[in-house]
Each structure stands twice: as C-alpha cells, then as structure tokens.
Structure 1
C-alpha cells in the first residue's frame, strides 16, 4: 500500500462513525473473540476480509469502534470520571490490543499501577511471558557461557507508530494544516507534537491514539500544575522562579495558538472546538516528560545520513526512572537490524526496542525501569514531577543579580556582552558531585572546587574596567596579546572572585532558609526522616518531591558556602604573606 497504517486511520474511523450498525457488530465480534481466548493469528485472518485495510489497521479501528460503544461520544479528558482515576483491567486490555494492532511486540511486558507510593502512576512490569524469552536463550550453551551479558529484547515498538513529525504530517485530515503552521513559523517541531497531543486528547474516543491517551495522567505532578499553596513549598528556590516564568511564557504562546487549535478541531470534525489553556499545558507536560530523542536515518544520494529526531513512543513511555537501571531503550539490537563494522545500520531501523542483559532479566511481576540520564532534581521535578534523594547529579543554580536593561551602565553592559561572546550566561551552576571530594592519602580532599565556567563568569564580573576593556578588545583581535598578572594581582583577583562567590552563596542561603524561604535544612531532614520511618500522616507526593528537592538545594548551598569561606580566608593569608615578602 502506498499509504502507511496511520495515514488511513482517521479516514477509516470517520467511515465507521457513519456506519453505526456495522461498527457495533464488528466491535462485538472482536471483543467477544478477544475475551474467549481466540488467538491473535485468528483475529488477523478474520480481519483480512476487510480488503482495503491491513490486518493491523482493521484491528485498531474495530477496537476504537468498541470503545465508542462502551463510552459514548467523544469527550474531553480534563475532568475524568471515577473509573478513569485508576487503571482498570479494561484499560490495560485496550492498550495491549492497540499496541498489538500497530505492530508492537509487548507480550513480555504489562502496564500496571505502581504500588511503592500512592498516586505513583503507571509503570512497565514483566509479564509471565518473559520466562519464554529467557527459556529460548538459556537452552543454548553458546549464549549461556560465551555471551552471558548479551541483551534480550523485552519489547519492541515500530518507529512508524511513534509520534513524530513524519507521523503527524502524514495525517490525511490534519497533516496539511500542521505542515502550513510549520512552514510559516507559527510552531517548531516540538510545538508540533504538543499541538498534536492537545488536539488528539480533545477528540477523545474519536482519536486513533485514545487507548494510549486514556492511560496518561490527567493532572501532571509538575510545578506547572501546583496550587498556590503547593508553590509555597518551593519558596526561595530557583525552580519557583523557573516554573512561574515558564507558565507565563506558555500563556503567551497559547494566545497565538488557540485559534489554530480551534481550526484544527473543526477540520477534524470534533463535537466541540472548545479547548483551554489547561489542555495545552497538559500536552506540554506530556511531551517533556515522555519524549525521547533518537537517531533517525535517511537516504540521501545513496548514503545513510543520521539526524536527531524527537518523538514519543506509546507504550515505552510508561517506563519509570531508576538510577543505574540495567534495562534501556535502543534502536540497536532490535530484531532484523544489521550493522556494519563501524556500528552503523545497513538499512534504516524500523523499531525501538526495550532491552536488558540476559543475566539481569526481570522476574514476572517485577517493574522494568530505565535510567533517564544524569539529571538534576530541578530538571526531574520540573519535567517529570519527582525528585531523587541523594542525587549526585543535583545542581545548585544561582542567578547573578543583573539590573534591567534600561538601568545598566556601560561597564555592566560590557561584562554581559563579554559573557555572551564566550557562550556564558550570568548564572552559576554548582554541582553536588564536586562536593564529594577527591581521595588523598589522609582522606578526602574537602577543598573548594568550582567548574571552569563558574570561575570564568566570576572573573568577568570582578574585572577592573581597564582589564575588562583589554578582554573585550582581545575578543575582536585574531591574535590577542597575553595579559599576565603578577603574584599579588593574581591573588587579588582570586580574593575578589571568592568574595563575590561568598556573597552570592550567603544570599542564596538566606533565600532558601530565611524568613522568605521554607525553613532550615534541619527541619526538612526531620520531615524526611519521619516519612522514612512512616511516622505520622503520609506526605503528599507533590510536597514530598518539593521537600527532597529543596533540602538538597540547602545542603549544596551550605557546603559550598563553608568551603568558599575557608578558601577566602586562606587566600587572604596568602595575600598578606606576598605583601610582607615584597
């Protein structure tokens, strides 16, 4: 067929809606067959009689028709019913059948509710079928003894079933409209996916993606959705400012995109064109918490060209995060993919696979997690709605006080321009991992260590005007002269850098733990200890995430402040010694 599966879905769904009797009959047949144990092959053979569709397309459309009969007309999921507040057996069944119909292999996994904490959401768990995957490989001595760490495929998902630019633009009804919005610069590729999610969610059961959309969280746990009371848990943190700023930015974008959303809903034949800012924010949260960036190969002039592509893989996106998880997603190691000596594929990959080492395969019922990468708690909380205790990737962000443009003098403007020319911004990122200390013969080195970028930013802010002008000129000179400092000048510059750093850290400490903040680190640690010991009422998830995040921020700020003060005192002693020796 010239058109892919997804390019005909919406047209077929429209035909089914116009033939209610036939849809209901087909839906009942499919539902009955599925629950009475008829094999997937039998269902596909039955679907072949629908001569103008592929077998998998027919199964998907029948499933959509069944859901329409079960749940009535299309509706917005912003206000869910009680049945939609938790995953049910019916919802899991619909998702599995839908994934099967689009060509995914999910026999060895299940999507279920996590039970570690209430309201933890859904996760991916190993099903009973995972044992069959292991039995095949362990029967072969070659794999058992020679390649014990080779990966096994727990699930695979076709790339054509991922929500990407290509998938969206191939939509037979709305694809051209989406393309026009891209071409005229109203949206970029990320906003394309966010807009697509907004529209598909509003279509409800009329959406091809409804079995997946139904299981997505109704209210994300990110700060964008916090109430005013919940936002007080972030007082004094950089995340409080970031979340408010991001929400204002999204509100401005929504003013531009709301007419386009209404037009898209009208063209899709939706029962209503009413769509809200909350719906748009929901789609934004889903994209940032579930999107992936994977390599995409295209053929140009007979050669394979690789580029990065962002998208969402329904089913795979339910995998939760756990640091150092052995499972991972990959396009390599998928069935049928061959690579050359350099590791490059000899043909375009068609699947995304969830894999893990054979010796560390999950047991039935065990959750399958993946590592989201080296992310700070601020990134995790802002994009995913949780924070990780003892996160060594955590970072303290300090904004350098900068006056508004209309109040800046020439010196400050020159400092900011010099920062910009070097790819820097007036903010400091102080990582927790640099506090761990390097091992020495007498123990761990607890001296102050700063990232090179932080040192450079602080030096630019403390430069005297003469030195600043010389640095600005050197940026324009292809062969700049080397500006050298003597020992006293070098020590003076170092003292200025440390004094500025101490001042910024003291201000940050006051913001976090002072009257305008959320109290002391000791008070936060008592709450964390009580929660760990299950003393008193359970802390709500949003408050717990804020507590973990802000306590880490306070700890990092305190530790850097202690070390910066010690370093400053040592540098002052060094300066005195230099002056006395002259």
Structure 2
C-alpha cells in the first residue's frame, strides 16, 4: 500500500472517529489485491464488540430526503414514485462523489474504484461468460442502467451540482455505474425503529400524548386499534450503507455478525450498529474479522459482489421453460388454462444440496421424502401407483407439474378435463353450486392422467439444451478444470512477477472468476441431468 493510499486511510479513520465510530478492538487496513481493505482484530474485547457505528452516519433513503440539497429536489419525485429507495442512495453517492467539498470525501476517497462484477468486464472478459445466465443478465442490466442514467440521473445530478455552486463538473455514466456498484457490494438491510424511519409518526404520537385529553401516562390506541407505543417500537427494514462495518469481507465461516442496538443497552450507543464476535471465534491480533453475506451461489456472488468461491456449497442452477415457447406446443390454449389453474412454476432453482439425497448420493437415506418434491399425496382412482423412486427425486413438484402439463398428449388432456369436471358435478350434487378445483386437485388430476415420464423427458431436454449452451460458449467442464489448474496462481495476486512463469500464461482475476463460475454451472447441470435421466428410466419401467 503506497503512501498516498496510507494518507487516505488515515484521513478516513480520523473521519470515522469524528463521526462517533468506535474501533474498540479492531483496525481497518489493507488486506490484499482481491479483497482491498478489511477489518482486523487489534486486541481482545471482553464483551465481544470490536466496532460500533452510530446509525446517524448510515446512508439511507431518509438521509437523502433530509439532505438540504438533494431533499427538496428528490422528495416530490419520491412521493410520485419516479425514484425508489435504492435510486435515492445512488443519486446521493453520485452527487457526493462529484462534489468538490463533500463532507463525505474521506469515506468516498477510500472506497474502491474498480470492481470484479461483470458490469465492469472488458468485452474479452465478458465472452468468458457466454452461454451462462450471467452473460445475458449483464447485457440487460447495463442497458437498463444506461437508460436510467440518461432519463433520470444525468440531468438531475448536474442540476444538483449547479445548486451547490459547481458550474464546471460533468457527470458521466461511469460515475453512476460506480455508485451502483458501491451500493450493491456494500449495502446492508438495517432493522430500524419505525419512529426513526418515519419521524412524523413519533411527532404525531407525542402531540397526541401531550394534548388536552389528560391521559399522558396511559397507553392509548390509534384509529386502527394499534397501541401507539407499539407503533414506535415496530421495526422497519431499510437498505443502506454503514461506513466502517461495510469494510468487513465475506467468509462462509464468519468471525462476527452485525447487530443493531436500538436502546444502547449492548453498546452504550443508542441507535447504533455493531459487530459481535461469534462465540467460536477467538480473534488473534491481526486476524481478519469477517461477516457472512449469506448462503449465496457463485452466480449471485459474482453478479453482485464480483467474487466467487471455489467449490461453493451453496451453488445452484436455474432451469426454466420459456413461456413464449408454449404457444407452439399442441393444445396450447388448454394447457395455458391448466397452468394458470395450478399456479404453475415455470422455473426452478436446483441447489447443490438437493443432490445429497438424490439417486447417486453417498449419504444415508432419511425417512422423510424431502421438501418440495414428490407426486401429490393421493391418486384420484388409485390406479396410478406411487413411484418407487419418490424419495430420491430431487426436482420440485411444482416445476414437474408445470412440465407434465406442457408435455401432455391429447388423450391425457381429455382425462384431466373429465376428472376436474367430476369435481364440479360432485360439488353441485352436495352443495347445489359449483366450485373451482383447488390447486392440489388440478395437480393430482394431471399426475393421474400422465404420470412423470413426459415431464422427465422434457426436463432431460431442457438440461441437455442448457449444457449445450454452456459448452458452445466456453468448452467443456474438463477444459475449464485444466485452465484452473494451469492458472491457479493468479487467484491471489494482481500481477505475478515470478520469472519461472511465462507472462503469456497470466490470467486476469475476472477471467479466473468467470471460469470458476461457469465450471460450477456445468458440473451441476451434468449432475442434475444424470438424476433426470435415471428418474426417466425408472418412470418408464414403472409405467409412470
């Protein structure tokens, strides 16, 4: 870390102190090229609270609306729905980033200016994602952000700068892109007391309690029957940036969690956010204090935060049947009606953990049949028997019902229609009126009519198509593995200086992350394809 960066860091640490932030048992310092800055233990703290940040320092939508410059310009737009909570924060960041004399300068100067998310990939790096969900998602996101910038951000921020007395500064799309990346890589969902989010509620309640009713000390209820004290204590979740805590890096085995102290009972600082060391963690001096960003697969980690985890246990693939393709299948109108009747799920998330109870798992069987899988609990006539493979089927029932509906033959549609008409006939006989079949009844009728084989064949086709798209874009899973073995050294350094390694072999961090992500997608697609093919063989052999 150079002297210039060290100076900026010291100014930032002084800024934190001036704003009431307490580094009780930690320091913020440079980690490495991939992580940037991080929070590190400096000495032990008896209560396990190494860092406390007053929430009046947090960048939240309320702060933006109360800002003397942004507030008047944004309030009307916010009330009309022209800007939402997130855009308010993006406007704030873009504006303060361009201001010459911003009071936020020590914080903004220390924030990263480059990111590993696909939005910042070069054209060459983006091609590494071809065939993946992220490739198209990144193109769409960049187009959407460009439109948002042109329509709402550019002129407004320029106007705000003029109001601030700056007639020369120009705003660029990259400034807005920077603000967007800062928000998505650092924002937290903060649980705040309702009265701090909507101060007018607290003011109205206080006026009521101080009124002429002579009941200042009694607990009153408002017009909706809600206790006024309870309204004050109600929690509202707000997205925002919390300087200091936002420098904690991610780890699956987090060393700390973050908590909000509304009363000051835990920290002595009312309405603050603090780090709390987990019981298992015994921080050594100089050890990094990490938090968990949640159980996220590499697709989400790369898209939002710009990094991946090799062999991520929370990895997943998304499978969907394209809605526009239904119009080309036989009896599409009838099938669309049935899909609506059972509230069809046109897509499903297949997480790696599902494979733990699949056909090829080495783990011991459990007596439960798993969550969200299997056929309906009963058969209309009892003629279609429960499949023997039910407990091993890893695919969600809601998605399988969708595929059953799309794959149905004409004669199977007739059976479903007859069964559902029977529901209305029975209803009329018993209650002298008709009722619509329930979701469960529609799903059961569809399974009774066609079983699993058609749906599983369609699922095999979808997974095969997905695998072909992935391999056409970037080669096979084996070729990705060979690349990662060859370029493994590039994971931790920006520029390898070793003379023993040919310079032509260097691989950028973005390319390395792309290969890790796409290889994981290929691995899971192959494994779920194997599950689907085996289930299809069993279904055909059992007449399902």
Q: TM-score if structure 1 supplies the norm length? A: 0.71
Q: Secondary structure at the match of 2:252?
A: coil
Check the 8 A contact 1:447/1:563 in 2, yes or no. no
Select the residue among 179, 183, 188 that pairs with 2:75: 179
Q: Is the 8 A contact 2:23 2:51 kept in 1?
A: yes
Query: Matched residues in 2 for 1:562 and 1:174: separation?
Result: 56
**CA contact under 8 A between 2:69 and 2:160: conserved in structure 1?**
no
Task: Indicate which of 218, 228, 242 corresponds to 2:123.
Answer: 228
Secondary structure of residue in 2 paired with 1:114: strand
Aligned-pair distance for 1:412? 4.5
3-state DSSP of counterpart to 1:246: helix
Aligned-partner SS, 2:69: coil
Partners of 2:73 and 2:341 lie apart in 1 by 39
Name the stretch that deviates more: 416-425 or 376-385: 416-425
Partner of 1:321: 250
Q: How far apart, CA to CA, are the structure 2 residues paired with 1:277 and 1:185?
A: 23
Pairing of 1:117-128 with structure 2 (within 5 A): 118-127=33-42
Match of 1:455 in 2: 400
Please say if 1:102 is aligned against 2:58. Answer: no
Aligned to 2:135: 240
Cα 1:371/1:412, change in 2 over 3 Å: farther
Q: Which residue of structure 1 lines up, in the alignment, with residue 290 of structure 2?
A: 369
Q: 1:255 aligns with which of 138, 150, 159?
A: 150
Separation of aligned partners in 2, 1:519 and 1:182: 47
| Residue in structure 1 matching 2:478, options 519, 522, 526 | 522
Match of 1:302 among 224, 229, 233: 229
Higher relative contact order (CA 8 A, sep 6+): 2
- Residue 503 (structure 1) aligned with residue 456 (structure 2): no
Separation (CA, whole Å) in 1 of partners of 2:452 and 2:125: 41
Q: CA deviation at 1:419?
A: 5.4
Indicate if the aligned counterparts of 1:87 and 1:112 stay in contact, CA closer than 8 A.
Answer: no
**Alignment partners' CA distance in 2, 1:157 and 1:191:** 24
For residues 92 and 523 of structure 1, what CA distance do their matches in structure 2 show?
42
Give the Cα–Cα distance (whole angstroms) in 2 for the partners of residues 306 and 470 of structure 1.
51
| CA shift for structure 1 position 310 | 0.8
Inter-partner Cα distance in structure 2 for 1:548 and 1:312 = 29
**Residue 314 (structure 2) pairs with residue 393 (structure 1):** yes
User: Are the aligned partners of 1:395 and 1:432 in contact in 2 as well (CA < 8 Å)?
Assistant: yes
Cα distance in 2, alignment partners of residues 224 and 467 from structure 1: 50
Q: 1:6 corresponds to which residue?
A: none
Q: Aligned partners of 2:51 and 2:143: how far apart in 1?
A: 40
Q: How many residues align?
A: 459
2:507 maps to which of 517, 531, 539: 539
Label 1:363 to 1:504 Cα distance change in 2 as closer, same or farther (>3 A). Answer: same
Q: Could you tell me the TM-score, scaled by structure 2's length?
A: 0.76
Match of 1:90 in 2: 7
d(CA) in 2 for partners of 1:288, 1:315? 16
Q: CA deviation at 1:413?
A: 6.3
Superposition deviation, residue 441 in structure 1: 12
**Aligned residues: CA RMSD:** 3.5
| Kept after mapping to 2: 8 A contact 1:153/1:334 | no
Paired residues of 1:396 and 1:430 also in contact (CA < 8 A): yes
Deviations 1:6-58 (A, max 9, x none): xxxxxxxxxxxxxxxxxxxxxxxxxxxxxxxxxxxxxxxxxxxxxxxxxxxxx
Report deviation, 1:280: 1.2
Residue 229 to residue 418, structure 1, CA distance change in 2 (3 Å): farther
The alpha carbon displacement at 1:527 in A equals: 2.2
Q: Is the 8 A contact 2:356 2:362 kept in 1?
A: no
Stretch deviating more after TM superposition (151-160 or 348-357): 348-357
Once the two structures are TM-superposed, the CA of residue 319 in structure 1 deviates from its matched residue by: 0.8
- Corresponding residue for residue 433 of structure 1: 353
> How far off is 1:402 after superposition?
3.5
Deviation at 1:219, TM superposition (A): 2.0
Distance in 2 between residues matched to 1:444 and 1:321, nearest whole Å: 32
8 Å contact 2:77–2:83 — kept in the other structure?
Answer: yes
| Structure 1, unaligned runs of 5 or more | 1-81, 138-150, 339-346
Cα pair 2:262 2:270 within 8 Å, conserved:
no
